[in-house]
Structures are given as C-alpha cells and as structure tokens.
Amino acid sequence: MPEVPAPNEAVDDPVETAQQVLPVLVDMPFHGALDSTLSYLGPALPPGSLVRAPLGHREVLGLVWDAPSDDLVAPGQTLRALLGTLDPLPPLPLAWRRLVRFAASYYQRSLGEMALSVLPPELRKLDPASLTRRLRRKGGLGSAPAPTDAPQTAARPEPTEDQAQALAQLAALQAREPGGTALLLGVTGSGKTEVYLRRAEEALAQGRQVLVLVPEINLTPQLEARLRDRFPGRLLVTQHSGLTPAQRLRHWLAAHLGQADLVLGTRMAVFSPLPRLGLIVVDEEHDASYKQQEGARYSARDLAVYRGRLEGVPVLLGSATPSLESWRHAQQGRYALVPMRQRVGQGALPQVRLVDMTQQPQAPRGQEPPPLAAPVLAALRERLERGEQSLLFLNRRGFAPVLHCPACQWKSDCPHCSAWRVFHKLDRTLRCHHCGFSDRVPRACPSCGNPDIQPVGRGTERLEEQIGQWLPGVRVARIDADSTRLKGTLEQQLSAVHAGEVDILVGTQMVTKGHDFRRITLVVAVNPDGALFTTDFRGPERLFATLMQAGGRAGRDAEAAARSELWIQTWNPAHALFQSLRRHDYESFAAAQLAEREMAGLPPYSHLALLRVEARTPEAAQDFLALARRDAMAWVEAQAAEVTVYPPVPPYLARVAGLERRQMLLESGSRPALQALLRDWLPGLRGLRAQTPGVARWALDVDPLGI
C-alpha cells in the first residue's frame, strides 16, 4: 500500500508545508452518521502510527491508515490538525492492519470501531509524554529484557507414541505448507498440551513469538503455570478482560515491542500485534466463548486461522470434540487432521452409564426427592470409601431456577425480562441472570399472601446443600460464577481440589474444560436433557461436547482410569446422542449431525447472518425489521441472488432489561452473495431507524452461534 509522501524540504514556510493530509481512523460505530476514516493535517507518518486527534469537542485516539492522501480532501474543505503523535511506539504492522481490515469487512463493522476497540483502553488516556514515562519507568517494558541465566526450556517428559506421531505430522505439514492449519483431534487426557508446548519450543528456538488462545479466563492460570515452568527464561504475558487497564496496556506493549515471547489470552488476544509471530494455538477450538457477543461479533478462532494464512505461520486447533465446521474442513482436506486416540499412560476413557430416570422410584407425596438416583448415590459412597473424588456437573447456578406459590401459581418472574428470577439462598435474593435485577426474597407470595412459597428445580447451591445432607461428613466444594466472584477464589478452590481436601466437587460448565483433576474417578451429569430439545440447531453439538469434556475430568490418573465412570441421569436414554457418547464415538456423532445439517441446509452447508433489534415496544421492533426485510428482498430480486430473508420473529428471550427483542435471519449457500447483500444493505438501516423512533439499538451478527 502506498506510503504517505515525504514533506517537501525546499519550501519558504517549513511549518505550513510540513503538514500533510493523513487518513486517520477514529472509533465510530458502523451505523453512525460519519465515516470512521477522517482526514487530518499532520507530519509525515507511516500507516499504523497512533496519534491524538480532535473530534468535535473531544480529543481521541486515532490510527493513521493506508490510503492515498490526494483522495482525502473535498474542494473547499478545511482540515483540523492532529494534536500529537505517540512517537515512542512503532507503527502497528501491515499484517495487523490487514487482519483488522478483513475483520471489519467480514463482520460488517467500521474500520475505526474494529481497530480502536481491540487496542488497550488505557492507550486512549495517554499523550506522548506520559507514554514515554511509562516505557522508561523502572522495571517497565521500554528496554530489552534483562539477561538471565535461567534455562530457556525446563525438563520435559518423553512424548508418548501418539504425541510423537502428532509432532511428526505437524512438522511435515509446516514444511509443506508454512501457513497451514491443523486440527489436533485428541481425546481428553491424551496430552494435547504437551504437543502445544513442543511446537512452542520449536518456534521460540527460531526466535519467534507464540500466541496461545484459551476460551475462558479460568483456564489461563493453570496453562500459564505450565508455560512458565516449561519456559522459565522467557517473557510470558496474558491478555484477557480480568486484567486491570494498566496490566492490559503493559502486556500489550510487551507483545507489540517484540519483548514478549509468549502471549496467552482469551479471544481478544487474537488481535495482539506480534512482530515475530511464529505459531498460533487455539485450545478447545469448539468453544462458543471464542465468539464475541457484543460490538464487533467476531470469531477469534476463525480470525486465528485467517491470521495464520496471512502471516504464513502454522495454526494448531485442539479439541476432543471439534466444531462441526472445523471437522468438515478436516474431512475436505482444508485442515490437516492429526488424531490422538490414546490417553497418556494408555489409560482407559471413563465408562459411560445411563440412568433411566423414568425407571427410578418417585419420592412419596410431600417429601423432597433425593438429589441423585439411588445407583448414583451408591457410586458416590463407593468413591468416598476408596478416598477418591467425584464431580457433579449441573449447568445451572443458584439454589433454584424459580420460586413458586402452589396456591395461586405465582412465579418469581423478572419485571424487566421474559425470564424467571433465580432464587439464591445464601444471600436470600431473587436475581435475574439476564438484566441483573435483584431484590430480597418475599416473606409471602406477593400475589395472594400465601407464606408457603417453594423453590422449584435445582441449582448448584441446592445440590451442594442436599449432598451434605444425604452424605453426612462429606467435604463438598462448589465452583460456579457465584462462588468464584472474588479475585483469587477460583485458584484457591482448585488448589483445594488438587490437594485432596475436597471429596465431591459440584460445578457448572466452568469445571468441565481443561482442568487436570488427578483424583476424580466419577463424574455425574445431573440434568443434561434440556439441551436435547432446544430450538437452537447447535444444541446437540454443544451438549455432546460438554458431556465429553465433563467425562474427561475422570480417570486422568492412569492407575485409576480403569474404574473411572461418567454417569448421566436422563429421561431419554435411547437418544442417539447418548448412544454415541457411550462409545466415545465423536466421529459417528459428527457424521449424523452433518447429515442432518445438510438435509436442512444449515451451517456448515449454508451461511447465516442475524439482524437483531431492541426497542421500547414490540411494534417498533417489528416495524424496523419489516422495513429492513423489504429493502433486503428488493436487493435480492434486483441481483437475482440466492439469499433467503426470513420473516422477523421473537427470540427465546423476547424481552431483556425492559427492551423488546426481535430478530431476522438471512441465509445463503453462497458466502460471497450473503456478504454482497450485507455490504449494500446495512448502510441504509441508519435511515430506517429514523422511521421507527422506538428502536433503541440494532446489531448484525455474521455467522451467529445461537438462533
């Protein structure tokens, strides 16, 4: 892309002529009234330079972009001058700018919004002088890392046969296709992390940087510890939303300046500027957390693959249950499939047992049923006698999903959402998990005054309490979003589990991924059936992955693997999903799901976009989408494009935080056709909002994960 021309030195007025017209990105939403690329006067700066720019009455962070300067000024236009440049920082590299440009284009966001939103927020507050002080601060990141006598690589275990074969396949792929993508299909406990570490070791030995992505913050501590132990002489930084603004800036600077050797982070880390990038690892690549759900709704996994091809570096996707999109790419040869079918130590996968709840005796009328079926309680007692640990998986936090009045049928609904408020017994609150509205539990039914209001259903709080009652003396711990709210509590609870101070661990999905619990030999899925019959076509795929991951927490110690079990309490034991799960047969499950998707014309055999709108009234939301559909249908007819625009419908939660929600699905077998429609159609939605004043906001989700 063309450079900004150098200023002319042979001039009479050097101050005036030193100023050039520069294209500068500022953070403005796609559906704002102005373009996010604005023209300013400033010194000759290369693309990628960070600057301070005036915008209205504000001073904002800007980014010099790639564009010819002679196309930026309209006749008679007066330009404002930049207020300063962040000179201490090198420009953001071309590869980073290309990644941002692609993400903005594909996910239909403005360049400025995409580029500026992925930078550390603290950069917006800094001027050149304050940035220089930070870089020069004692112990800061403005100079090269201090030399160390520590070894660059610690002692490492010998690879298993599966690991050695996987490493050989990956090395051959890199030699054949430097920017190739590999799907590491490894059963739980097969040692995928060791493969990541060996590949990282090779990249570091070549003087390159390594980017490792994990789906959730709670998975970073243990992987960070393994990376630090393995590479004690290397600078490792993390990138996730749990960092303070100052920490995030410091770690980002280390990556951008080339000082960090390893970057470990959640989805935001895919945009880390890395001048020496040599390897990208995406752990648990199937996880929905890689998809951003606010603002620019990008998929970090898909952008990681694109970045690898863009920069010519290998990308390693790891999972025991890959997403069906990645699995199909591997079947088609677009990704190299690298299988790892044996656990470390040749340990067996847990035996899957189905408990048919329709055959279990019911509790007498007026008595509370036991938390678990009799065979499951017996299996728990057996583990307690042997001094082993058990995991109870229930993906529902709180004490009970709803409070109910048996006299008048009142339920604890949320006044702001079409959802129930969840009963939390520990702090005696009714809390909406969607809008956050919370109040005290009423002493009596607010509808009829009946004092006998009862909890219905079971959450992790209630399960924890009931297990303590049914198994007196047992040491029970609970890990969910409520019990780990305070900083450091998750690490403390995990340490207690690893140290053997816990007999039974009750947890949500937080504990089913990535954790290496050596003493757990029994996992119980308490109530998984709800996902079988969801309206979302991805429900079975998510449930299968979750149960496989949960079961994988059992028997990770080779000596205990033979007696490890996964028990599933279900009302539908004959369901095909459970039958595939009993055989640990991901491939047959994936084949059946892909066949269903192909017949229904669903992803990965089609491409989707979802237009969501929130409004003060249902009529305003419906009217906005009706006008949007009219314009989209007109485009489809004019272009004779194969795109289906479905009528607007309410989502599962039709009201959240007092706003009515509606959505409209667009579907096409051709990705280019869908992208062309979105590119031409979206700018006109600004005007439609003016015609429906009740609309609060609208957003487009390309490749949505949930419908």
DSSP 117-168: HTS-GGGGG--HHHHHHHHHSTT-SSSPPPP--S-SS---PPPPHHHHHHHH
Low-confidence residues in the chain, pLDDT < 70: 1-18, 29-35, 68-76, 138-154, 366-367, 558
Strand partners, 22: 40
* CA–CA distance, 453 with 546 (Å, rounded to integer): 34
Which pLDDT value is given to residue 689? Answer: 84
Helix (H) or strand (E) holding 589: helix 586-600
- Please tell me the predicted confidence (pLDDT) of residue 150: 46
Q: Can you read off the two tokens belonging to residue 570?
A: 């279900």
Same domain, 198 and 238: yes
Residue ending a domain, among 412, 442, 457, is 457
Residue 250 sits in the same domain as residue 227: yes
Q: Do 672 and 631 lie in a common domain?
A: yes
Answer yes or no: is 163 a known binding residue.
Answer: no
The CATH number covering residue 696 comes to: 3.30.70.360
- Is 484 in the same domain as 355? yes
User: Does a structural domain hold residue 4?
Assistant: no
Residue 183 and residue 326 share a domain: yes
Copy the structure tokens of residue 569. 């309490």
Query: Which of the listed residues 576, 598, 620 is the one where a domain comes to its end?
Result: 598
Residue ending a domain, among 529, 564, 598, is: 598
Spatial CA neighbour of 587 closest among 288, 273, 263, 339 = 339
In a domain, 104, yes or no: yes
Q: Are residues 453 and 463 in the same domain?
A: no
Longest Cα separation, the chain? 99
Sequence-distant (≥ 6) Cβ neighbours of residue 327 within 8 angstroms:
183, 590, 594
Is 54 in the same domain as 185? no
What's the domain count of the chain?
5
Whether residues 88 and 197 fall in one domain: no
Q: Residue 132: give its domain's CATH number.
A: 3.40.1440.60
Look at the alpha carbons of 675, 30, 245, 243 in this order and tell me if their dihedral is positive or negative. negative
Q: In whole angstroms, what is the distance from residue 699 CA to residue 515 CA?
A: 35
In this structure, what token pair is assigned to residue 110?
């403005």
Neighbours of 132 (CB within 10 A): 16
> Around Cβ 626, how many Cβ atoms within 10 Å?
15
Query: Per the domain annotation, does 650 fall within a domain?
Result: yes
Q: Does residue 312 lie in a domain region?
A: yes
CB of 68 within 8 A of CB of 26? no
Q: Is 689 left (phi over 0), alpha (psi -120 to 50) or beta?
A: alpha
Give the C-alpha separation, 676 to 657, whole Å: 34
Q: Is residue 108 part of a domain?
A: yes
Q: Which domain holds residue 74?
A: 14-136
User: Do the Cβ atoms of 615 and 624 come closer than 8 Å?
Assistant: yes
Residue 624 counted as an annotated binding residue: no
- Helix axes of 192-205 and 161-176: crossing angle, nearest 10 degrees: 40
User: Is 445 annotated to bind ligand?
Assistant: yes
3-class DSSP string for 641-687: CCEEECCCECCCCCEECCEEEEEEEEEECCHHHHHHHHHHHHHHHHH
Q: What is the pLDDT of residue 195?
A: 97
Within-domain flag for 5: no
Q: Do 225 and 215 belong together in one domain?
A: yes
Unique residue bearing structure tokens 């890959």: 322
Instruction: Determine if residue 642 is labeled as part of a ligand binding site.
Output: no
Q: What residue has token string 């449930």?
A: 543
The reply to whether 494 and 435 lie within a common domain is: no
DSSP class of residue 409?
Answer: -
Q: Which residues pair with 568 in a beta bridge?
A: 354, 525
Contact 458, 400 (CB under 8 A): yes
State residue 6's pLDDT score.
Answer: 37
Are 199 and 228 found together in one domain?
A: yes
Answer whether residue 143 is part of any domain.
no
Residue 261 lies in a domain: yes
Residue 408 known to bind ligand: yes
Residues 421 and 471 in one domain: no
Rounded Cα gap, residues 170 and 316, in angstroms: 9
Residue 147 CB neighbour total at 10 angstroms: 7
Residue 405 is labelled as binding a ligand: yes
Q: The domain that contains 210 carries what CATH number?
A: 3.40.50.300
pLDDT digits (tens, 9 = 90+) for 496-525: 998 999 999 999 988 887 777 888 999 999
Of 679, 675, 699, nearest to 624 by C-alpha is 699
